[in-house]
Amino acid sequence: MSRDWWLKFSFLVAVCIGSALLVYPTVGKVDLEKTKLPFKQKINLGLDLQGGVYMVLGVDFNRVFRDNVDRQAAGIEQAGKDKADLGIKSVKAIREGLAADDPHLVVEFDPAQTQKISDWLKNDYSWTLRRVAESSGKIELGISSQFREKIRSDTITQSIEVVRNRIDEFGVTEPVITSQGADRLVVELPGVKDVERAKELIGRTASLEFKMLAETVMTEPQVIQMVEEVKRSQNLEFKEGDKLSAYTAKINEAVKSKIPENTEIVFGREEVMPGADPRSGRLTPYLLYRKADVTGQELQDASVGFNPDDNRPEVDFTLNPRGAVLFEKMSGENIGKSMAIVLDNIVHSVPRFQTKIPNGRVRITLGGNRSYDQVQKEANDLAIVLRAGALPAQLDFLEQRVIGPSLGADSIKKGAMASMIGTLLVFLFVLFYYRLSGAIAVVSLILNVLFVLALLVSLEATLTLPGIAGIALTVGIAVDSNVVIYERIREELRAGKRPGGAVEAGFQKAFRTILDANITNAAASIVLMVYGTGPIKGFAVTLLIGIVTTLFTAVFVCRLMFDAYLKRLEARNAATLSI
């Protein structure tokens, strides 16, 4: 055999050994910790094979934009106070009649300062705001498109971080959290069975706000009465399964004229009897000031502690230095008044300030009527969620799929078995039809599968159930390449060429056809990969890998083996190719 051949052959052997080493940890029973093998990775199994939870979450940007405009409005207002020469009279955020994702703010100022205002806005706010409308003494601004983009991408990145933090605490091995498109998150939690808890953990906005009760405006009984009236007159009863946030918005809309603009109604839930669904508790309305003096941003730590009075679990917060100062101020200015601790827009508790609280430590005691375990669990989860940070935006659950573990194991078993039988059938067929050349094809097909698995492991791609089918399909398609080459060789032999020439011509002429076929396969697979998710994506990736390996084995490996075969024929002076 020529030196060229030996070089190629050694290359092939090296690739085979490498692949075998990559694949062995998956198929052999290898303990990943103790092994001395160079590659310590098992193949990544998709959710449909492992069992677990798959969720698609939609990010609600509207609220984020609203909060941002509110914050900018507050900033401009503050600047107006600091720089009296700007002549700013008032700053208001408005949402009436505007698209939900495009709130505006209106600045009213002394018309004489129009130029100054214009310059100042251009200096400080040109990147974040855009002019919507102007008139004498009034200017309306909205969020600029580039800032909007930044907010969007920042929100997504932050959401992913927060979700990741929460899941870490949950103790899931190898969770996958990615963004999809412009406004979605995909979360995959292999091995998790308690969906509801996972959803609770992930979906809670966990926005923590301390707001003062507007007791001087209306007393609590007056608030309750007002809300009851509105409920009756406008038929706004809270139904089971309604979203509380939507309901709260509706009520606030209905009482708008009756309450001052800087206040809002927020509901709290009453305690329920032990064993009952906590969500069936009656809703109590509270009138709170909109402004949150202290928020979750000032939270330094949250942990589970025990109330010394009755030994029940509670959540202890510690605020950071800035938060401690704010809280001290808040408590000092409001002695004798009540503060609402608002979690996810639901009033959790309403403690009264007896004294100024200087050290930034707050306690939330959790509901008294449930079992100790339930309360403990809730305390734990609440602490986790607070520690990991608040979600910058609300997440809606668009899709969720839970695969039980036995379905996964079952699928692997059946899928692998079917693929092997299919491959075996193909082998038999090829051996029967092409005899020794068929044997060559069989060897190249076996190597093909080995390479596919090795590439899956090394690229850390995920193997899903359709992916297993994809491997079987790849074998079927790989045989096509062999058939194309062999039929061509047969034709050349019929036309009178000698074995060597026929093989040469066969490979040459067939190459272009094989390339075309595989390129069109690849095109469809790429489209599938871009548009697919989850198991489908796994299928597309497996097919693509299969196309690459097929090209390699059908052309390079087969050719190598044929060259060896031809040499053997030559040595024995035989003239017929077994094909």
Partner 1 sequence: MFEIIKPGTTFDIVGKRHVFVWGSIIAIAITFALFFTKGLNYGIDFTGGAEVQVKLPASWDTGKLRAELEAGGIKHAKIQEIALGGETGAVTERQYLVKAQGDENSLKAISQGVQDIIGKTLKAGEFEMMRVDVVGPAAGADLRKRGFLSMVYALICILLYVTLRFDARYSPGAVLALFHDTALTVGFFVITQKQFDLQILAAILALIGYSNNDTIIVFDRVRETLHLHPRLSIEQAVNKAVNETLGRTMLTSLSTFLSVFALWAFGGAVIRDFAVTLMFGIAVGTYSSVFIASSLVIFLTHYMEKKKTGAPGKPKKQYQVRPEPKFQ
For partner 1, the binding residues in 240-269 under the rule CB under 8 A are: 241-243
171/132 Cα distance (integer angstroms): 48
CB of 78 to partner 1, least distance (A): 40
Interacting residue with partner 1 among 266, 324, 477, 561 (CB under 8 A):
477
The smaller minimum CB distance to partner 1, of residues 53 and 299, is found at: 53
The smaller minimum CB distance to partner 1, of residues 208 and 468, is found at: 468
The smaller minimum CB distance to partner 1, of residues 127 and 397, is found at: 397
Residue 295 host element (H or E): strand 294-295
112/89 Cα distance (integer angstroms): 12
Show the site string, 36-75: x = touches partner 1 by CB under 8 A, - = not.
Answer: ------------x-------x-x-----------------
Q: What is the DSSP string of 325-392?
A: HHHHHHHHHTTTSBEEEEETTEEEE--B--S---S-EEEEE--SSS-HHHHHHHHHHHHHHHHH---S
Show the site string, 170-199: x = touches partner 1 by CB under 8 A, - = not.
Answer: -------------------------xx---
CB of 48 to partner 1, least distance (A): 8
Helical spans, DSSP H, in 495-554:
499-531, 534-551
Interacting residue with partner 1 among 14, 425, 436, 574 (CB under 8 A):
425
CB of 522 to partner 1, least distance (A): 7
CB of 314 to partner 1, least distance (A): 29
The smaller minimum CB distance to partner 1, of residues 84 and 246, is found at: 246
Interacting residue with partner 1 among 274, 332, 368, 404 (CB under 8 A):
404
Tokens of 96: 């009436």
Q: Which residues partner with 93 through β-bridges?
A: 105
The smaller minimum CB distance to partner 1, of residues 7 and 421, is found at: 421
Q: Which amino acid is at 362?
A: V
> Is residue 421 close enough to count as binding partner 1 by CB under 8 A?
yes
Residue with tokens 């190597």: 447
Interacting residue with partner 1 among 30, 244, 292, 407 (CB under 8 A):
407
The smaller minimum CB distance to partner 1, of residues 285 and 470, is found at: 470
The stretch among 248-256, 296-304, 405-413, 562-570 that binds partner 1 (CB under 8 A) is 405-413
CB of 251 to partner 1, least distance (A): 19
The stretch among 147-155, 253-261, 268-276, 403-411 that binds partner 1 (CB under 8 A) is 403-411
**Binding to partner 1 (CB under 8 A): which residues in 273-292?**
none
CB of 183 to partner 1, least distance (A): 11
**Would you say 165 and 389 are in contact if contact means Cβ atoms under 8 Å apart?**
yes
How many amino acids of this chain bind partner 1 (CB under 8 A)?
A: 77
The smaller minimum CB distance to partner 1, of residues 331 and 521, is found at: 521
State phi, psi for 246 to the nearest 5 degrees.
-65, -40
Which residues make Cβ contacts (< 8 Å) with residue 124, sequence separation at least 6?
79
**Binding to partner 1 (CB under 8 A): which residues in 292-331?**
none
The smaller minimum CB distance to partner 1, of residues 196 and 261, is found at: 196
CB of 276 to partner 1, least distance (A): 15
SS3 annotation, 154-168: HHHHHHHHHHHHHHH
**Would you say 523 and 447 are in contact if contact means Cβ atoms under 8 Å apart?**
no
The stretch among 87-95, 135-143, 277-285, 391-399 that binds partner 1 (CB under 8 A) is 391-399
Interacting residue with partner 1 among 14, 99, 112, 398 (CB under 8 A):
398
CB of 548 to partner 1, least distance (A): 14
Interacting residue with partner 1 among 543, 551, 555, 561 (CB under 8 A):
543
Tokens of 75: 């900033």
The smaller minimum CB distance to partner 1, of residues 196 and 309, is found at: 196
CB of 523 to partner 1, least distance (A): 4
Residue with tokens 């693929």: 419
The stretch among 23-31, 226-234, 339-347, 488-496 that binds partner 1 (CB under 8 A) is 488-496
Interacting residue with partner 1 among 62, 158, 318, 400 (CB under 8 A):
400
**Binding to partner 1 (CB under 8 A): which residues in 428-467?**
429-430, 432-433, 465-466
CA quadruple 405, 29, 16, 490: dihedral positive or negative? Answer: negative
430/459 Cα distance (integer angstroms): 31
The smaller minimum CB distance to partner 1, of residues 96 and 277, is found at: 277
The smaller minimum CB distance to partner 1, of residues 19 and 481, is found at: 481
**Binding to partner 1 (CB under 8 A): which residues in 82-121?**
none
282/425 Cα distance (integer angstroms): 66
The stretch among 111-119, 146-154, 340-348, 397-405 that binds partner 1 (CB under 8 A) is 397-405
Starting at the edge strand found earlier in the chain, the sheet holding 339-343 runs: 283-289, 263-269, 346-349, 339-343, 208-212, 294-295
138: how many CB neighbours lie within 10 A of its CB?
14
513/485 Cα distance (integer angstroms): 9
446/453 Cα distance (integer angstroms): 11
**Binding to partner 1 (CB under 8 A): which residues in 490-529?**
490-491, 494, 508, 511-513, 516-517, 519-525, 527-528
Find, among 322, 334, 109, the residue nearest to 216 by Cα.
334
State phi, psi for 434 to the nearest 5 degrees.
-115, 5
222-228 contacts, C-beta under 8 A, 24 or more apart:
223/265, 223/285, 223/286, 223/287, 224/284, 224/285, 226/255, 226/258, 227/251, 227/255, 227/265, 227/285
The smaller minimum CB distance to partner 1, of residues 72 and 481, is found at: 481
Interacting residue with partner 1 among 22, 151, 403, 461 (CB under 8 A):
403
Interacting residue with partner 1 among 142, 415, 499, 506 (CB under 8 A):
415
Residue with tokens 């959290």: 177
Interacting residue with partner 1 among 469, 505, 564, 566 (CB under 8 A):
469
> Between the CA of residue 434 and those of 58, 381, 426, 480, 501, what are the distances in Å?
55, 65, 12, 13, 18
